[in-house]
Chain A
Amino acid sequence: MRDLPSGAALSIRVAQDAPIPLDARIECAAGELLALVGPSGSGKTTILRCIAGLVHPSDGRIVCGGETWLDTSRNLYLPPQRRTVGIVFQDYALFPHMTAIENVMAAMSHVPAAMRVKRAQELLALVHLSGLEDRRPAQLSGGQQQRVALARALARDPNVLLLDEPFSAVDQVTRRRLQRELALLRRAIRVPIILVTHDLEEAALLADRMCILHHGRTLQTAPPAELLARPASPLVARLLDLRNVFDGRIERHAPETGTTWITWQGHMLETPYRPELGEGTSVSWMIPAASVVLHRRDRPSRGERENPVAGTVVEMFALGETATVLIRVDGTDDAVLSLSVPTHVARRNGLDIGIPVRVSLLKDAIHLMPQS
């Protein structure tokens, strides 16, 4: 089997005002999987189409594998045919009149004719479609069609692989399987992979880094864990659907203890040292639900002295092993904290709606964000 495509990094800068506003900068290393995430209409697909050459932004520069595909300052614009991209469209866009193997071979004009059949068979085997070479798209299931589309994208020996919501048109079970296959397959592909998705969970699962888009702007690019723990702004936190985001004010910095004290609706909270945020400025702060620790009633618990707050349970629901508990914090303007506890812990502590509880906000998990 021939080597799968290999190439160098992808670097994108695109900007325009209309028809869809864009202001995006994206870098993706060879072998890296970057997820473009954002709500509908945030410009994810448009950026993908810019890379493929299907959209011509009014301002921008796209370099892939050392080759410049777009440079508006030099009036350089390579058509899609001259950009070696492999793209899986959202609804796959297979050629309906061709069989699976013909679809794959259609992207092989650069391969000597005598080798195309063998190479196409190899690619179909790679995506687990051996034996279905002669089926037409209409005779294949949604998951099988997606695999043909992936094989066709790889058949081009692309310098970048573009996946536009590739899992959105299949059922849950197939989606899980295809996601697992992609996670395995990508180890063998040494090119940048850009995955467009509105599914945060899918992005966090598959991507090395996630790039958050909003109205065509790239707001933050970071590994999923970092992004979820340290969003750059309250807007990013909101787009990531993060809970426990509140407003506060920097009270004072204490470098000797590595602490920045903030006030939050009458509470004084210690947070990690962030001297760049001036005293007196308004900030947003956030704490992951897993870092809000419930105090046990019968004996002292871990971190009990760290930012203790009291409140009343207002809502509680168990999803399997984990219970989500919402607490209205005493002395605040109806601020509601969300925490996750194992269901058995919730039961042992007799948690129920209306019950008063005490929790600690673990200092190191609190993340401060400047307000824009």
Chain B
Amino acid sequence: MDWSALILSLQLAGCTVAVLIPLGILAARPLAWRRFTGKGLIEALIALPLVLPPTVLGYYLLVALGGNSPLGEIYEKLVGRPLVFTFEGLLLASIVFNVPFGIQPIQRAFEAIRPAVREAAWCSGMSTWRTFWRVELPLAWPGLVSAAVLTFAHTLGEFGVVLMVGGNIPGETKTIAIAIYDRVQAFDTDAAGLMSGVLLGLSFLAIGSVYILANRRPAPHA
């Protein structure tokens, strides 16, 4: 059992959720409530990682983040180390491939809030900010939890993108999914089986909690 790989995976998943969910809220509100030109295109781009083979996404991320790319160059100048094959690069890639999981459930949750309910909040004297905290967030809460759990679970299980962008550096980019592959290659089926079991359990726990939450949620409108 490769504990450092599991811990790294959990760290990566936690950091991805911490960064992506606030971004998801920011992006989901206008997508849910506003109409603007190019909205369909943006929604398509958000959904794209769902259908793109991870290796394709990983390849483009590798090219975009590599030392020869403007982004990679700037990062290396500022931080002093490259973006690819590091935890930071992996986090960035993880955020990109989780975009649909982090935004779509939140967007659906905001869409389910009737416009009149927000208007009623404004007419009750609540500021936009207070309306967000007192009305929008509590009503969108299940969507936020779904987004967080799906992002977390999806990060734990991601293999292709991680391998392309992060490689297989123990303690830095070797996640549990990579470690399982690594153990199978070394004919260490006991370790691979144990880690697979742990991943299966975690994933089931995560997905199960989303569904249990969805079923317990009271009807959004009376």
Known contacts A54-B119, A89-B116, A97-B138; A107/B220 CB under 8 A: no
Assess A106 versus B119: contact at CB under 8 Å? Given A97-B138, A97-B139, A145-B222. Answer: no
A95 contacts the other chain (Cβ, under 8 Å)? Answer: yes
Chain A binding surface SS class: loop
Given contacts A93-B117, A95-B121, contact A138 B219 (CB under 8 A): yes
Asked if B134 is at the interface (CB within 8 A of a chain A CB), the reply is yes
**B120 on interface, CB distance cutoff 8 Å:** yes
Contact in complex: B124, A89 (CB < 8 Å): no
Kindly state the interface size class of chain B when it binds its partner: 20 to 34
Please give me the residue from chain B that is nearest to A140 by CB atom: B222
Partner-contacting stretch, out of A77-85, A242-250, A336-344: A77-85
Question: Considering the complex, which residues of chain B in the window 117-133 have a beta carbon less than 8 Å from any beta carbon of chain A?
Answer: 117, 119-127, 130
**Contact partners of B120 in chain A: CB under 8 A:** 87, 89, 93-95, 152
Q: Inside 8 A of A155's CB, which chain B residues have their CB?
A: 124
The reply to whether B127 and A81 form a contact with Cβ atoms under 8 Å apart is yes
Q: Given the complex of chains A and B, what is the CA–CA distance between A275 and B220 in angstroms?
A: 63
Q: Is B123 touching A54 in the complex (CB atoms < 8 A)?
A: yes
CA distance A166 to B148 in the complex (A): 40
B127 A93 Cβ-Cβ under 8 A: no
In the complex, B221 has a CB within 8 A of chain A: yes
User: In the complex, which residue of chain A has the Cβ closest to the Cβ of B120?
Assistant: A93
Cβ of A299 under 8 Å from chain B = no
Q: Is the CB of B124 within 8 A of A106?
A: yes
Kindly identify which residue among B124, B125, B139 contacts A96, using a CB–CB cutoff of 8 Å.
Answer: B139
**A184-220 CB contacts (< 8 Å) to partner B:** none
- With beta carbons under 8 angstroms apart, the residue of B119, B126, B222 that contacts A137 is B222
A96 adjacent to B119 (CB under 8 Å): no
Does A91 belong to the interface (CB within 8 Å)? yes
Give A84 to B221 CA distance when docked, in angstroms: 26
Sorting the interface of chain A by its residue count into under 10, 10 to 19, 20 to 34 or 35 or more gives 20 to 34
- Taking CB atoms and an 8 Å cut-off, the chain B residues in 185-222 that contact chain A are 218-222
Chain A positions 59-103 with a Cβ under 8 Å from a chain B Cβ: 79-81, 83-87, 89-91, 93-97
Cα A304 to Cα B73 in complex, Å, equals 104
Residues of B within 8 A of A84 (CB): 125
Question: A110 in the interface, Cβ–Cβ < 8 Å?
Answer: yes
A25 interfacial by beta-carbon distance below 8 Å: no
**Is A156 located at the chain interface by the 8 A CB criterion?**
yes
Known: A94-B120, A95-B120, A97-B138. A81 touches B126 (CB 8 A): yes
Contact of B222 among A81, A94, A107 (CB under 8 A): A94
Q: Verify if B39 is at the interface (C-beta below 8 Å from A).
A: no
B116, A106: Cβ atoms closer than 8 Å: no
Cβ–Cβ contact A54 & B126, under 8 A = no
Residues of A within 8 A of B222 (CB): 94, 96, 136-138, 140, 145
**Bound form: Cα–Cα A84–B125 in Å:** 8
**Is there an interface contact between B218 and A156, defined as CB atoms closer than 8 Å?**
no
Contact status B119-A138, CB under 8 Å: no
How many Å lie between the Cα of A110 and that of B127 in the bound state?
A: 12
B119 and A89: CB pair below 8 A?
yes
Q: Which of A81, A85, A90, A91 has the most CB of B within 10 A?
A: A81
Knowing A93-B114, A96-B139 are in contact, say whether A81-B219 is a contact too (CB < 8 A): no
Tell me the nearest residue of chain A to B125, going by C-beta.
A109
Asked if A36 is at the interface (CB within 8 A of a chain B CB), the reply is: no
Cα distance A81–B122 in the bound complex, in angstroms: 5
B135 at the interface (CB under 8 A from A): yes
Contacts of A109 in B (CB 8 A): 124-126, 130
Chain B 13-64 residues near chain A, CB threshold 8 A: none
Is the CB–CB distance between B122 and A96 below 8 Å? no
Distance, CA A52 to CA B120, complexed state (A)? 10
Interface centre among B125, B130, B135, B219 (most CB of A within 10 A): B125
Within the complex, what minimum Cβ distance (angstroms) separates B16 from chain A?
28
**Cα separation A107 to B123 with both chains bound (whole Å):** 8
Q: Are A54 and B117 in contact (CB under 8 A)?
A: no
Q: Is the CB of B117 within 8 A of A152?
A: no
CA distance A106 to B130 in the complex (A): 10
Contact B123 A106 (CB under 8 A): no
Closest chain A CB from B33 CB (angstroms): 14
Which residue on B lies nearest to A49, using beta carbons? B119
Rounded to whole angstroms, the CA-CA distance of A94 and B220 in the bound complex is 11
Contact surface of B with A, Cβ cutoff 8 Å: 114, 116-117, 119-127, 130, 134-135, 138-139, 218-222
29 contacts between A and B (CB under 8 A): A52-B123, A53-B123, A54-B123, A80-B122, A80-B123, A81-B122, A84-B125, A91-B114, A93-B114, A93-B119, A93-B120, A94-B120, A95-B117, A95-B134, A95-B135, A96-B139, A96-B220, A96-B221, A96-B222, A109-B126, A110-B125, A137-B222, A138-B218, A138-B221, A138-B222, A145-B222, A152-B124, A155-B124, A156-B124
Residues of A within 8 A of B (CB): 52-54, 79-81, 83-87, 89-91, 93-97, 106-107, 109-110, 136-138, 140, 145, 152, 155-156
5 closest Cβ contacts across the A-B interface? A107-B124, A93-B116, A93-B120, A80-B122, A137-B222
Interface contacts beyond A81-B126, A93-B117: sample of 11 additional A-B pairs, CB < 8 Å, sorted by A: A54-B122, A79-B122, A81-B122, A85-B123, A89-B119, A93-B119, A96-B139, A96-B220, A107-B124, A109-B130, A138-B218
